[in-house]
């Protein structure tokens, strides 16, 4: 799949911090059952790589690695079976080998300079991060105007209440959210179902 196809799969990509690998597969099953097939597992915990491998066993799940900041993490994520890569920022040193590998890649940007660097690398799909701290909807709308080819997945501080404001922007294909995996598995499935039903422009 291309990164655009992944971003268009559902309006919300859960951003998951997994502390216990035993919870990974049941969590993925609940999210997929609720309609959220694209799952981003952040490489912030020792369990993350094993969690990616476990979630990959869930039919319909599209599992990627987030918070990738080094070549070593990229290699480890690929070995675990990650289907796409998300980074919190954008540097040529990190981006070039990922682009060369042809793995779907969503680098983080927050400024016009970040976007120009991405454009120079041939990229047009970005994570706007940290979205709320970087000025929210107003800032993203301003950035999207001169970079009219760019498409975004805003992530960082977004809630079920604010997600629709981002999804109303034509340049936004989806949002990243950490609110959908709270509570028991029944609650997760309900929250995923509500997130999957959010309208996009």
Distances (CA, A) of 77 to 83, 190, 196: 9, 29, 26
Instruction: Output the pLDDT for position 201.
Output: 80
Cα angle 55, 43, 137; round to 5 = 95
What is the chain's Cα-based Rg?
16
Tens digit of pLDDT for each residue in 5-64? 999 999 999 999 999 999 999 999 999 999 999 999 999 999 999 999 999 999 999 999
For the chain, where are the alpha helices, taking DSSP H only?
3-8, 24-33, 48-55, 71-80, 92-101, 112-120, 136-144, 163-167, 185-196
Closest by CA to 103, choosing from 86, 117, 88, is 86
Q: How confident is the model at residue 66 (pLDDT cuts 50, 70, 90)?
A: very high
Catalytic residue numbers read 40, 127
């Amino acid at each position: 799949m291309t990164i655009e196809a992944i971003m268009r799969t559902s309006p919300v990509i859960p951003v998951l911090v997994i502390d216990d690998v035993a919870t990974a597969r049941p969590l993925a099953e609940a999210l997929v059952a609720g309609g959220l097939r694209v799952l981003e597992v952040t490489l912030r915990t020792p369990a993350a790589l094993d969690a990616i491998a476990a979630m990959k066993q869930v039919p319909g799940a599209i599992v990627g690695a987030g918070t990738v900041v080094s070549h070593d993490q990229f290699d480890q994520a690929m070995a675990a079976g990650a289907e796409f890569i998300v980074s919190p920022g954008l540097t040529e040193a990190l981006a070039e080998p990922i682009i060369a590998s042809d793995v779907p890649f969503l680098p983080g940007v927050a400024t016009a300079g970040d976007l120009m660097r991405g454009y120079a690398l041939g990229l047009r799909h970005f994570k706007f991060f940290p979205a709320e701290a970087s000025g929210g909807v107003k800032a993203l709308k301003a950035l999207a105007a001169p970079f009219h080819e760019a498409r975004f997945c805003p992530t960082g501080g977004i809630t079920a209440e604010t997600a629709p404001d981002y999804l109303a922007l034509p340049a936004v294909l989806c949002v990243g959210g950490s609110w959908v995996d709270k509570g028991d598995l029944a609650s997760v499935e309900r929250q995923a179902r509500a997130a999957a039903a959010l309208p996009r422009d």
